[in-house]
Structure 1
Amino acid sequence: MSITKQVFKSPADPGKYEDVSFLYHMESSTGSYADITSYGCRVVDLVVPDKDGNMTDVLLGYKDLDGYFADTCFHGAIVGRSANRIAGASCVISGVKCDLPVNDGPHNLHSGTPSFQDQFWDGEIIDPAKADAIIAESGIKGIGSVDSDALLLHYISPDGATGFPGNLDTYILYAWLTDKTFFMLFKGTSDKDTIFAPTNHTYFNLKGHDTGYVGDHTIQLDADKVNLKDDHNCSDGRSQDVTGTDFDARAGVPLTQLIKSSDPQITMSKGIDSNFEINDYDGTYKKCAYLIGDKSGIKMEVLTDLPGIQIYAANFLGGDIGKSGKPYNPNYAVCMEAQMFPNAVNIPHFASPVIKAGETCYHATGYRFVNN
């Protein structure tokens, strides 16, 4: 299937961004589709069939560019260079001290501004053969074949952006795979040692984006351990075995267990907002989790080559009006963000998010949809 492209307008100033703001409609051969904007590589819509064949938009989002300009919750965005928190908004990369924006208590969250999520990216529509070739170049094993035309987005984050060194040449590939996976590949190359640790910050509600509370979803995580956090919600290098705790989702549990828990590590963020350590991490692309929508029966499997997955139950959504005119309130969605561990740059025993000058780094994440 071919991808269509149209201007994604700002109603407040309809002509201002028409040369850079686009919406790409990307359909699979089975009829599922995604709409992606060049602003922050944000996924605006993700529509898949439920157990009865009804097409369901499972992704929270906004109807126009102004909604994303006003957004403070990173809806659908590629966030980076460094996703999640860096303690004290400071780190040292190859002997160079980097002072970052303080924007989440004493810490840095999602790199600050300007970052991937608030920039316009250049987009190119490519055929399946070229997309397959890019995936093959990554060297990541286990990724299936591309189903239809794919979208390749490009942005160069300049040296010194939010305190990080190096001109970071970045590509994001979005594609539907033949196994019904909505897939993304991250590629980064820098001229100085720097961090390359992005993620996708999509908010999922598998009953439909405007149907409310997600606590009755079932979540399963292939994770024996969870990162522990300091008093300001940032990973501090400790890990905890999930056995006998509300973090134990290995067999599949109601998501509400992770939202309503009285565990101090959960209540500090008004619900789950923690990084789980994926079992048997070895850098290969594999399934690490699934989510099942109550009522819809939609099952979404998460696959990645990354070591961690952040589960965030949208605890701080503030009632903003979404694309259908209904408010998005706390716990109306869940983010399942494959990632490097939070604050890994400051914790030597975590896998390092630093890439060397001239090195090209790839990461992959897929969301595979099947009817349960």
Structure 2
Amino acid sequence: MKPIIKLSYVFVLMCAIVCNVNCKEKAMKGNSENDKVTASNTVTISRADYGVTKIGDKVEEFTLTNKEGMVVSIITYGGRITSLKTADKEGRMENVVLGFDSLAQYEENNPFFGALIGRYGNRIAKGKFSLNDTEYTLAKNNGENNLHGGLIGFDKVVWSVEGTEENDNSASLKLSYLSKDMEEGFPGNLKTTVTYTLNKDNSLDVLYQATTDKTTIVNLTQHSYFNLSGDFSQLILDHKVEINADKFVPVDGSLIPTGELAPVEGTPFDFRTAKLVSEGINADNEQIALGGGYDHCWALNNADAGYRSVAKAHHPGTGRTIEVFTDQPGMQFYSGNFLDGTLPRPEGGVYAKRSGFCLETQHYPDSPNQPNFPSVVVTPEDKYETKTTFKFYTK
């Protein structure tokens, strides 16, 4: 009987070993399949409550993240980018856009940090324009001029969430806002949607779309302030900027275009070859003096070509670079001249003059009053659509 017991024991032991091996193989296969699912989900989007406005509107925050570690946070109040984290040449992740750490601060007067701008980005002279023989009067919220849509522009409203989407290559947040007929003095019910899309290659697309039921004017843009050093106590004078433009838009004393397009050659406005911001920002130049630095629109080259690369900014210390692509004819390069040291930074301290810069793709300022500028008129038969991309990398 003993040999039988031994054989039975051996048989049971062998079965256990085989079962153990098979289980491990199944487990390994299962883990591999799970890993594949996770790996394919390269860009994600999440939602959180952000707060409630003074008038009781709920504000949400959406965070888009890709596998490279780039993280973009957007709130529905003003469609604002509140944080954009990307790596430096050593792989360190830091936020590179100026902002606040509370909704209450965004509701107070601030220089449009991270906001969507509309209906009309930039200035309209004396707050007036004519369309089809009708004169329209807008708020004068920038001296004698209208700026960035008026007293309650698109930066100061809560946008609706049309939907979110994520896949192997990108994650998108689609926001919408209905600007009613004569809101801030602009004609027509304007339905606007803006879709932010973070891609796996560290590019952020901003797609603007709008339709109207009455002929109107539209000029939308995005007003993030960048500081690629990731250290907002440092100024942006050590950034190198390149703008593909042979001409820029000179302005008068109230920063309204004179109507001409002037050559950049031989002026501080020549960024056709990358150069430090510090090289020309304090130059003895009338236009520099009027803007308090750079606060001008460049007439971008190859406007007929549509969507193309138009500008770059590079921070030599961290290696971070931002490249701008757009189908727009112009871009406002603003060097943060009106930051005055009164606004608090989330990490402590204050935002000093020139601690951030903007690259606002758009039509030219005051286009409704400048017959020689590209038209900003949109009719009920038109669909306004334009795309800008901010791509981040290191070198």
Confirm or deny a common fold (TM above 0.5): yes
5 Å-filtered alignment, 1:333-344, equals 333-344=356-367
Find the counterpart in structure 1 of residue 173 from structure 2.
151
1:324 CA displacement: 1.6
Return structure 1 stretches of 4+ with deviation > 4 angstroms.
none
For 2:99, which of 61, 64, 73 is the aligned residue?
61
Q: What is the CA–CA distance in structure 1 between the aligned matches of 2:233 and 2:163, rounded to whole Å?
A: 33
Question: Does 2:371 match 1:348?
Answer: yes
Give 1:310's aligned amino acid.
Q
Q: What is the CA–CA distance in structure 2 between the aligned matches of 1:322 and 1:189, rounded to whole Å?
A: 37
5 Å-filtered alignment, 1:1-372, equals 1-9=43-51, 17=56, 20-128=58-166, 147-282=169-304, 284-319=306-341, 320-372=343-395
Q: Deviations over 1:304-358 (max 9, x none)?
A: 0000010100101122002222210110011010011111111111111110124
Q: What is the CA–CA distance in structure 2 between the aligned matches of 1:351 and 1:324, rounded to whole Å?
A: 42
In the alignment, is the contact (CA less than 8 A) between 2:149 and 2:184 conserved in 1? yes
In the alignment, is the contact (CA less than 8 A) between 1:85 and 1:234 conserved in 2? yes
Q: What is the CA–CA distance in structure 2 between the aligned matches of 1:273 and 1:238, rounded to whole Å?
A: 16
1:128 CA displacement: 4.6
Give 1:149's aligned amino acid.
A
Q: 1:89 to 1:329 in 2, by over 3 A?
A: same
Q: What is the CA–CA distance in structure 1 between the aligned matches of 2:259 and 2:58, rounded to whole Å?
A: 41
Find the counterpart in structure 2 of residue 139 from structure 1.
none
- In percent, how many aligned pairs have the same letter? 32
Count of equivalent residues = 352
Question: 1:21 is paired with a residue of what secondary structure?
Answer: strand
1:112 CA displacement: 0.6
Q: What is the CA–CA distance in structure 1 between the aligned matches of 2:359 and 2:200, rounded to whole Å?
A: 22
In the alignment, is the contact (CA less than 8 A) between 2:51 and 2:58 conserved in 1? no
In the alignment, is the contact (CA less than 8 A) between 2:217 and 2:377 conserved in 1? yes
1:283 CA displacement: 5.4
Q: Deviations over 1:75-131 (max 9, x none)?
A: 0000110000011110012222110111112111112122211000011442257xx
| TM-score normalized with structure 2 length | 0.86
Q: What is the CA–CA distance in structure 1 between the aligned matches of 2:69 and 2:223, rounded to whole Å?
A: 24
Q: What is the CA–CA distance in structure 2 between the aligned matches of 1:76 and 1:283, rounded to whole Å?
A: 28
Higher relative contact order (CA 8 A, sep 6+): 1
Q: What is the CA–CA distance in structure 1 between the aligned matches of 2:349 and 2:304, rounded to whole Å?
A: 42
1:365 CA displacement: 0.8
Q: What is the CA–CA distance in structure 1 between the aligned matches of 2:64 and 2:129, rounded to whole Å?
A: 38
Find the counterpart in structure 2 of residue 133 from structure 1.
none
Question: 1:211 is paired with a residue of what secondary structure?
Answer: coil
In the alignment, is the contact (CA less than 8 A) between 2:233 and 2:352 conserved in 1? no
1:148 CA displacement: 2.3
Q: What is the CA–CA distance in structure 1 between the aligned matches of 2:331 and 2:390, rounded to whole Å?
A: 13
Q: Deviations over 1:210-238 (max 9, x none)?
A: 23211010000001001010111111211
| TM-score normalized with structure 1 length | 0.91
Q: What is the CA–CA distance in structure 1 between the aligned matches of 2:172 and 2:134, rounded to whole Å?
A: 38
Question: 1:83 is paired with a residue of what secondary structure?
Answer: coil
Q: What is the CA–CA distance in structure 2 between the aligned matches of 1:94 and 1:305, rounded to whole Å?
A: 27
Question: 1:349 is paired with a residue of what secondary structure?
Answer: coil
1:28 CA displacement: 1.9
1:240 CA displacement: 0.9
In the alignment, is the contact (CA less than 8 A) between 2:181 and 2:189 conserved in 1? yes
Q: What is the CA–CA distance in structure 1 between the aligned matches of 2:282 and 2:193, rounded to whole Å?
A: 38
1:209 CA displacement: 4.9
Unaligned stretches of 5+ residues in structure 2: 1-42
Unaligned stretches of 5+ residues in structure 1: 130-145
Structural RMSD (CA): 1.6
Question: 1:127 is paired with a residue of what secondary structure?
Answer: strand
Q: Deviations over 1:243-301 (max 9, x none)?
A: 11111111111011342122111111211100001011115111000000131110110
Give 1:93's aligned amino acid.
L
Q: What is the CA–CA distance in structure 2 between the aligned matches of 1:162 and 1:147, rounded to whole Å?
A: 39
Give 2:358's aligned amino acid.
C
Question: 1:236 is paired with a residue of what secondary structure?
Answer: coil
Q: What is the CA–CA distance in structure 1 between the aligned matches of 2:280 and 2:344, rounded to whole Å?
A: 25
Name the one with the larger helix percent.
2
1:164 CA displacement: 0.5
Give 1:117's aligned amino acid.
D
In the alignment, is the contact (CA less than 8 A) between 1:115 and 1:161 conserved in 2? no
Question: 1:328 is paired with a residue of what secondary structure?
Answer: coil
Q: Deviations over 1:4-54 (max 9, x none)?
A: 1111125x97xx74x520111111232201000000000000001111110
Q: What is the CA–CA distance in structure 1 between the aligned matches of 2:134 and 2:293, rounded to whole Å?
A: 36
The answer to which of 297-306 and 250-259 deviates more is 250-259
